[in-house]
Chain A
Amino acid sequence: MQYRLSFALQVVGTFFLSFLDFVAILVIFHHLPHLAGWSIGEIAFLYGSAAVTFKLSDIFMTNMDRLPVLIRGGSFDQVLTRPLGTLGQVMTGDIDIRHVGSIGQGALVLSIGISRVQVDWSPQKILVFASMLVGAVLIFCSLYVATNAIAFWTMDAREVANSFTYGGNAMTQYPLHIYGVWMRRIFSYVIPLGFVNYFPSLYLLGREDPAGSPHILRFVSPAVAAGMCVIAGTIWRQAVRRYRSSGS
């Protein structure tokens, strides 16, 4: 926070640059009123909820990018010697709050989405909405941890992690039913990105899933998120055990 002007410029910059990302959706809706049955308001709702929660987890996980450097340089030794959890230390090593600009953009798109869809906000719906956002952050963070842990096995293959994190963000901007059958299955039952926003949104927006997924899936996002945290934690611990410091 030493450089206030530079910080302010970056926040404003990321705020506006994030809108470039939304342009594709505007261009698509220039051609048709509904995409796979969903209006632009409903897509904005999905896009906004994905953007806010993904960018929030991105802030917590900024330092994951440096994990290969820590491992290769042997600096992970220091992390291990401290009497604190390894994951917590890597996460808090560097928190990049410049991304607040893009969170602001996501929040704006989300509120535009909310204002354009007709939802009567009963207490149950508010509860599902809040737990959806919390669950989404946890799912994205778990994916970050589980996939970046690959750096303990191989340094070079870490780009694979991007398919799950950035790919997950791209994928959750649109309703799950637009994807092919086997992709829907993977995103429902293997890499549970559908629970980030799609399934709870079906309930919130009062929509049916054209693919006919079980009704119960709309309400289990918090449980899925908790399960993901446990799995990610286990993978992380297994990965850390493989750490052998750097040579010589």
Chain B
Amino acid sequence: MRLWWEVARRGFRRYATYRWATVAGVFTNSVFGFIRVYVYIALFAGLGDRIGMWDLKDTLTYTFVSQALLMPLYLWGWQEIAETVYSGQVATDLYRPFDYQLYWLSQDLGRATYHGLMRGIPPFIVGAIFFDLRLPMDPITWVAFIASFYLAVIVSFAMRFMVNLSAFWILNERGVHSIAASAWTLLSGFTIPIAFYPDTLRGIVRTLPFVAMFELPVEIFLEHAQGADILATLAIQAGWGALLLLAGRFMLNAGARKLVVQGG
């Protein structure tokens, strides 16, 4: 356990070195928040009503919460494991006397903590200065949101882990990653809330694991899920996280077997 804690701390510190990148990133995340927000303002101005449980204030809050979650969930451009597969480094990494998947997961949780604090909270504050956002008053909501945040990171990590491992079989992991990332942003509720989809489509998308990444944490933040529903939401996220990590483990074993064959 101490080992994983240490790996997570290093993941955190590794990203903390790039200060100007953080400032530039906060600026960019905020700018995109502003661009997205006005589309929803125009939508609700024409609608004059809620969409399901969502009113304008909820939607503006969603926009900046989802901008805040963007870096912690890291859907684009994380190819570290794939790179070790292509360079052959993975062979030595797999020999190390600790669990390969847990090592990367701990590293990623440390990274997500840094990104949550430094790339997540500032754009939300910028948004809250310029727009009327909803801030949960109930401390239970905050506790649940933090739990939901880390579960979302685990789900995102488990998916990225598998896409990276596709490098064992496919030479163009980057291509797989960009296709996956497009699907993730749309089906997770980042592009537009899943709650705004037509009924049947919404029903289908909600049964998929992607909603564990943006839609469900946002529902907790907006207090659309309350009481027992909070626990149910967290359970769904945890269930998907466990299932996807397990699938990643099988994939790792299959890939490692292939690696031995190639190594002769």
Contact = CB atoms under 8 A, between A and B. Distances in A.
Nearest to B130: A180
A170 B31 CA distance: 11
Nearest to A158: B24
Contact of B39 (A6, A9, A159, A174): A174
A40 B65 CA distance: 28
Nearest to B175: A10
Interface residues of B, number: 36
A163 to B, nearest CB: 4
A132 B198 CA distance: 35
Interface of B: 18-21, 23-25, 27-28, 31-32, 34-36, 38-39, 41-43, 45-47, 51, 172, 175, 178-179, 182-183, 185-186, 191-192, 196-198
Interface residues on A, range: 20 to 34
A178 B196 contact: no
B179 A6 contact: no
A127 interface: no
B47 A31 contact: yes
Contacts of B197: 27, 30
A156 B24 contact: yes
A28 interface: yes
Interface in A151-169: 154, 156-160, 162-163, 167
Contact of A17 (B18, B35, B172, B182): B182
Contact of B175 (A13, A159, A163): A13
Interface of A: 6, 9-10, 13, 17, 20-21, 23-24, 27-28, 30-32, 34-36, 154, 156-160, 162-163, 167, 170-171, 174, 178-180, 183
Give the dominant DSSP class at A's interface.
helix
Contacts of B41: 178
Contact of B27 (A10, A27, A163): A163
Contacts of A35: 39, 42-43, 46
Residue of A10, A27, A36 most packed against chain B (CB within 10 A)? A27
Contacts of B25: 159
Given A160-B27, A167-B31, A28 B43 contact: yes
- Leading 3 A-B pairs by shortest Cβ distance: A156-B20, A156-B21, A157-B24
B42 A174 contact: yes
A174 B38 CA distance: 10
A176 to B, nearest CB: 10
A157 B21 contact: yes
Contact of A20 (B35, B36, B182, B198): B182
A156 B192 contact: no
Nearest to A160: B24
B167 to A, nearest CB: 15
